[in-house]
Amino acid sequence: MPNYQRYNKRLSRLAGTFPVLIHRLLEILSFDTPALGHISLTDSMPIMTCSNRRKAKVALDLCNKGYNSVKKRHFYGVKLHAIGFSNPGTLPHVEYLQITPASVHDLSAQQEILSEFKLRIVIRDKAFRAKELDQAIKRNGGELLTPVVYQSDLQRFHRQRDQAADDLYSLMVSSIRQPIESLFNWIIEKTDVQRASKVRSSKGLLVHIFAKIAVAFMTLIIDSNFY
C-alpha cells in the first residue's frame, strides 16, 4: 500500500472521473424509476472548508465566503446545487448537480439551466422568485412555483384578505419540494459531505464532494437491488 500522501495524490488525479461516474450511476438508477412527470425540484446546500473566523487558504479558486441561512452563520466553501424530477414516495431523481462558490445565489447558479426547460413545473423556495426566470419558463410552456412572499408596500388589508389562501398555497408548494431537502439530508447522513475542513487542495475538494456522492448513489443501487 502507498503512504498517505501518495494515496491522496492518486485520488486527486481522479478528480475529473467522479462526476462522470455519478452521471453513469444516475442512469442506472433511472432504469428502475417509474415514468416521471414534468415537476422539477431545486435546492442547494453549503459545503464548508472553514468558518469565517479563520483565514481561508484552501481551494481559493473554487471557494469564497457565503452565508448558511439554516445555521445562521458565515462560512468559507462552496454550494452544491441540485435539480431533480419529483418522484412521489421516494427521493427525487437527480438530473443536475453543480458546485459554485459559496457567495453565488441559487438563482444565479441555476437560472440558465431552468430557463431552457420545456414544459416543466419548477418548484423552488421563496428566495428564488424572479420575474425574468418566471417569464422564460412560461414561454417554454412551464411554470415556476414558489411560496408566497408579501411585498413590503402591500397594504395590510390586502395581506389579511388573502393570507389564508396564500398560506395554503405556500404549504402545498413546500410539501411538494420537501423531497429535495430529504435528498440533501440523506446525502449528509451517508457521507458527512458538508464538512470539508480536512481538504487541502482544489482537486481534493472535488474528490471530497463527488466521490462521496458517488458512494452514496452506489449504496442506493445496492440497496434497491438487494430488496
**Cell numbers standing for residue 166:** 396564500
Which stretches of the chain drop beneath a pLDDT of 70?
Answer: 1-2, 31-37, 127-129, 150-161, 225-227
Q: Cell 416543466 appears where? A: 120
Q: Cell 443536475 appears where? A: 96
What per-residue confidence (pLDDT) applies to 5?
80
What per-residue confidence (pLDDT) applies to 25?
93
Among candidate residues 123, 129, 109, 115, the one with its CA nearest the CA of residue 179: 123
If one counts the domains in the chain, the total is: 1
C-alpha span between 4 and 86 (Å, rounded): 41
Among candidate residues 57, 24, 59, 27, the one with its CA nearest the CA of residue 209: 59
152, β-bridge pairs: none
Per-residue model confidence as pLDDT tens digits over 17-35: 999 999 999 988 876 555 5
The range of the structural domain enclosing residue 186 comes to 4-226
CA atoms within 13 A of residue 149's CA, in its CB half-sphere: 11
What per-residue confidence (pLDDT) applies to 217?
94
Contact 25, 221 (CB under 8 A): yes
145, β-bridge pairs: 123
pTM (whole model) above 0.95: no
CA atoms within 13 A of residue 33's CA, in its CB half-sphere: 23
Among candidate residues 100, 96, 102, 101, the one with its CA nearest the CA of residue 82: 96
Residue 62: which H helix or E strand, with range?
Answer: none
**Cell numbers standing for residue 36:** 416521471
Contact 79, 100 (CB under 8 A): yes
What's the CATH code of the domain at 115?
3.30.420.10
